[in-house]
Amino acid sequence: MSGTSLTGWGRTGFSQARVLRPRHDDEIAQIYRDERFVIARGLGRSYGDAAQLGGGVVLDNRGFDQIGPVAADGTVRLGAGVSFDELLTVALPLGWFVPVTPGTRQVTMGGALGADVHGKNHHVDGSFASHVRALRVVTPQGTFDVSPERDPELFWGTFGAMGLTGFVTELTLALAPVETDQVLVDTDRFDNLEAVMNAMIDGDANYHYSVAWVDCMTRGKHLGRAILTRGEHATRDEVAEVSLRAPRTGRLRVPFAPPSGLLNRASVRAFNELWFRSAPRHEAREPQSIQSFFHPLDGVRDWNLLYGKRGFVQYQFVVPDDHAATIEAVITRLSSAKVASFLAVLKRFGPGNRGPLSFPRAGWTLALDLPVGAPTLARVLDELDDLVLEAGGRIYFAKDARLDAAKVGAMYPRLGEFRELKERVDPRGQLTSDLARRLHLVGN
């Protein structure tokens, strides 16, 4: 068949699909009648194979691009193909910020709810789902307007389900008021993992945003040395000049994929060292832009190409608070394995939500980027999965490209509820993806 070659942000498994861009709910209903297998795709920022479907039809959601007026209470009705970047361009000058933002603005609303994304404020505000008031989901069994009150099973079941419950065309989102476009940031440097984790346990409640960057390549007494950044939106009184300008995507671009191996153990170690040493031991109330605090990687377009032809995988897991020791066990295993890993992101989650496939739950989450190429990497990550499982934790589907299907049921014990919902809205199993097939989330 003629089609488009699609892959995730990690550029690992390519597959070919026919891409369509519907603009109305009716068109999608017709596609369900005409085609056997279908999945939605936004801007392709999932790292693995969630938004691709070999031999099937991929529905680009960017045709649903309208943004309604922002109501006095901050709610806005908008198309699921709108990106965070586009929404902020409209909303920030009016004094509204997105209630939850992932690490890039190049994610659509549909992608954000499919993955039920979280941000640096999860410990305070929960995940994306907590701020969505209503959804319109087009399923093979019809179009449903759902909310926490109306058909809560389909509403909650859609968050984290990676598009497998239907194609979301519109949503109502509650925005958060801000007075300026600046964030006041406290930065602290810690020489080891224990110190930074203690600081997060003691202090996170005092901050709206909190995240730590951890070096996973140092060993011994500097194992897990880290830089903790925590911040608040600046109020009018706290800045010299009040402004509400939307962030702009950087003009720098990675022009082509260099040979795999550019990012190797030596170069990554050097980068980590430089990053760590350039951070202040302690700095308080430093004003930062939205771009540099929330979306530093948006400064360089197509940065994923830096990992070369073979691409990279991102590994992200969460473990409950009473298994915080797993974080150290994972970093110890990684630092002794011969793999290159960039600074990892460590964050404390608040409680999870009702979505059976929603990733966040109370505890600790760690995310790291790993270039494909080290021969031991596949096995090391399988071992880490076992550590995570023993701790009662789970892997994040939006990042995954390699988890063993046999472990999914134990990581997501409410998979059965999701499958019941699936039976109701998609009895023929039309909504599937390379990810769903690989992890046996649904029947084939």
Partner 1 sequence: MENAFGQPQNVVILGGSSDIARAITKKLCAARTSTVVLCGRDQTLLDASAAEARDYGATRTDTVLFDAVDPSNAARVVEEAFAKVGEQVDLVIVAVGLLGDQLAMQNEAEAAARMITVNVTWPVAALAEVRRRLVEQGRGRILVMSSVAAIRVRSVAYLYSGAKAGLDRLCDGMADSLEGTGVTLQLLRPGVVRTKMTTGIPDIPFTTGPNEVAEYVMKGLASGERVIWSPPILRYVFAILRHLPRPLFRKIADR
Position among 54, 148, 203, 392 found at the interface with partner 1 (CB under 8 A) = 54
Q: Of the two residues 10 and 79, which places its CB atom closer to partner 1 in the complex? A: 10
Position among 30, 55, 285, 423 found at the interface with partner 1 (CB under 8 A) = 55
Show the binding pattern over residues 56-75: x = contacts partner 1 (CB under 8 A), - = does not. Answer: x-------------------
Q: Of the two residues 219 and 440, which places its CB atom closer to partner 1 in the complex? A: 440
Q: Of the two residues 3 and 250, which places its CB atom closer to partner 1 in the complex? A: 3
Distance CA 179, CA 230 (A): 18
Q: Of the two residues 53 and 161, which places its CB atom closer to partner 1 in the complex? A: 53
By rule CB under 8 A, what count of residues binds partner 1?
34
CB 62 within 8 A of CB 86: no
Instruction: Tell me if 275 contacts partner 1 by CB under 8 A.
Output: no
Show the binding pattern over residues 373-412: x = contacts partner 1 (CB under 8 A), - = does not. Answer: x-x-xx----------------------xxxxx-------
Sign for the pseudo-dihedral over CA of 38, 44, 46, 47? positive
CB of 157 to partner 1, least distance (A): 23
CB 78 within 8 A of CB 109: yes
Distance CA 198, CA 204 (A): 10
Position among 81, 157, 308, 311 found at the interface with partner 1 (CB under 8 A) = 311
Position among 23, 77, 269, 310 found at the interface with partner 1 (CB under 8 A) = 310
Q: Choose the binding region for partner 1 from 8-16, 173-181, 229-237, 319-327 (rule: CB under 8 A).
A: 8-16
Distance CA 353, CA 131 (A): 12
CB of 373 to partner 1, least distance (A): 8
Q: Which residue has the tokens 């019809």?
A: 142
Instruction: Tell me if 429 contacts partner 1 by CB under 8 A.
Output: no
Q: Choose the binding region for partner 1 from 51-59, 65-73, 193-201, 239-247 (rule: CB under 8 A).
A: 51-59
- Identify which of 321, 433, 439 has the alpha carbon closest to the alpha carbon of residue 56: 433
Position among 14, 271, 275, 303 found at the interface with partner 1 (CB under 8 A) = 14
Distance CA 168, CA 51 (A): 14
CB of 406 to partner 1, least distance (A): 8
Instruction: Tell me if 10 contacts partner 1 by CB under 8 A.
Output: yes
Distance CA 359, CA 419 (A): 17
DSSP 7-64: --TT----EEEEEE---SHHHHHHHHHH-S-EEEESSS-SSSSTT--TTSEEEEGGG-
CB of 96 to partner 1, least distance (A): 38
CB 228 within 8 A of CB 212: yes
Token digits of residue 318: 């969460």
105 phi, psi to nearest 5 deg: -85, -5
Segment (H or E) for 80: none
CB of 433 to partner 1, least distance (A): 10
353: left (phi over 0), alpha (psi -120 to 50) or beta: beta
CB 318 within 8 A of CB 190: no
CB 402 within 8 A of CB 313: yes
Q: Of the two residues 1 and 72, which places its CB atom closer to partner 1 in the complex? A: 1
Show the binding pattern over residues 223-262: x = contacts partner 1 (CB under 8 A), - = does not. Answer: ----------------------------------------
Q: Of the two residues 45 and 105, which places its CB atom closer to partner 1 in the complex? A: 45
C-alpha 242 chain-centroid distance? 31
Position among 3, 250, 320, 392 found at the interface with partner 1 (CB under 8 A) = 3
- Chain positions contacting partner 1, by CB under 8 A: 1, 3, 5, 10, 12-17, 48-49, 53-56, 310-311, 313, 372-373, 375, 377-378, 401-405, 434-435, 437-438, 444
